[in-house]
Amino acid sequence: MKEKFKEEQNIFSNKTDEQLVALTLKNPEAYAFLVGRYEEKLLRYVMRISRSTKEDGEDILQDVFLSAYKNLNDFDQALKFSSWIYRITHNKVISHFRKVTARPKTTTYEGDSNLLNILASDEDLARELERKYTVAEVKGVLEKLDERYREVLVLKFLEEKDYKEISDILEKPMGTVATLISRAKKQFKEKTEEGSSKEEKIGGI
């Protein structure tokens, strides 16, 4: 049994996502390797874009993988599998919170200890972070952003998706994605300036 598992690991681990999709349609056991590749990063994505508890996030993720498996036959070969599974996740997050009347007030950014450095890697945002905000302060700013703006920043800077992938995930034209990112940066700047103004007022009392 162990030898069979090792053999499957060798066969599946070197395959691309798209090859694993094709293999899964013939051998459902291959799907476990796709799940293994994406469960951690997709849970992190869910937690980054939603105000959910970890338990809710895990429920959403289970629904994502079940839905993806059921629809593998309809996988659009013109897309990257990663874009397709992120799109399903995005839609499941929206669907989940349409069913509840209130969201928890806290957002969990687990594993984002390098959040500030990632955001600051963009030249425009770097200029806005010259005051050397702490990670906690940046998290606070993200929390205050409109959800659509927070998500494009997360996709672009934390999930490291390019414009085409974000376009595929959100099902919006690349021009719209560019506009959303531009507006997100503007709102990020406004929120950081608001925070600075409040601190100056407090310091002047």
pLDDT tens-place string over residues 15-50: 999 999 999 999 998 999 999 999 999 999 998 888
Q: Which CATH code fits 1-109?
A: 1.10.1740.10
Give residue 73's pLDDT. Answer: 93
Q: Which CATH code fits 112-196?
A: 1.10.10.10
| Residue 107: pLDDT band with limits 50, 70, 90 | very low
* Selection from 103, 109, 96 nearest residue 59 by Cα: 96
**Residues 30 and 23: beta-carbon distance below 8 Å:** yes
Neighbouring residues of 75: CB distance < 8 A, sequence distance ≥ 6:
21, 81, 84
Neighbouring residues of 93: CB distance < 8 A, sequence distance ≥ 6:
46, 49, 50, 52, 60
* Separation between Cα atoms, residue 56 and residue 58, nearest integer Å: 5
pTM here is: 0.75
**Backbone torsions φ then ψ of 33, nearest 5 degrees:** -75, -30
Measured in Å, how far apart are the chain's first and last C-alpha atoms? 71
* Domain layout of the chain by residue ranges: 1-109, 112-196
